[in-house]
Amino acid sequence: MRRKKVEESSNEASFDIENQATSMENQLTNLRALSPACNIYRVPERLRNVKQKAYTPQVVSIGPLHHGSKNLEAMEDHKLRYLKEREVELRHYYEDTKKFNIAAFVNIFLVDAAFVIELLLRNKSEEKFQEEKLPDDNAWIFKKPWVQQNILPDMLMLENQLPFFILEDLYNLTGAQTGEPSIIELSYRFFQQALRLENLENSPAFRRSSSKVEVLVAQHGLPVPPLLAATLI
């Protein structure tokens, strides 16, 4: 009798181990590999706990990490208005969007990229865009300095970023004319004004360099990501 109980106990333990091994194997199989291109991370909790507002957007979410936050919903309607006239045109450029399992994920990038590009363009020349079809009430965000000042900290946050190639590709699809500033130059002008960076446009180094990013990094001591560093050599 005792021998039978020992055998049953041994069989149960063996069964539990097998189940545990199978469960762990499934977890490892379904574990998503971290892409080598991944460079937009969540801030460690120990840093966030020191000062929440330093790492959490207060006005606008850019990218997927803070999308859907209740306190940022008000800005979502404004993003959609800016995208409305370009949405149909942008869709024509993609052969197949079914490869994306979550359509909403793609929509986040389209809406946020369009919003950032529009912000950079409006900053470049307000007069040029006064004749656009967009109603005046949709441009309020670009006409009030205090709004841009509140958006700027959110745009600089580590968790509130877009891969730059998305901005570059969508900007190029708008049919920017020869002689128009690149998205890099538009970005530089925006942050130059917002952060009161030294005016480099008239400097010999800026005029000679084929990479404005290189000059910006060198002059202001900004950190150089590995991928960017490789392009500057």
Tens-digit pLDDT profile for residues 174-197: 666 667 788 888 888 887 776 666
pLDDT-derived band at 61 (thresholds 50, 70, 90) equals: confident
The string over 169-181, giving b where at least 16 C-beta atoms fall within 10 Å of a residue's C-beta and e elsewhere, is ebbeeeeeeeeeb
pLDDT-derived band at 5 (thresholds 50, 70, 90) equals: low
Reply yes or no on whether the pLDDT at 218 is more than 60: no
Of all residues in the chain, what percent carry a pLDDT higher than 90? 0
Quick check: pTM over 0.85? Answer: no
Q: What average pLDDT does this structure show over 35-62? A: 80
Whole-angstrom distance, CA of residue 9 vs CA of residue 160: 54
Whole-angstrom distance, CA of residue 121 vs CA of residue 109: 18
The confidence score (pLDDT) of residue 71 equals 86
- Which of 152, 156, 155, 167 is CA-nearest to residue 117? 167
Q: What average pLDDT does this structure show over 15-27? A: 71
Q: Where are the alpha helices (DSSP H) in 174-211?
A: 183-195, 204-208
Reply yes or no on whether the pLDDT at 13 is more than 70: no
Q: What average pLDDT does this structure show over 7-12? A: 56
The confidence score (pLDDT) of residue 151 equals 81
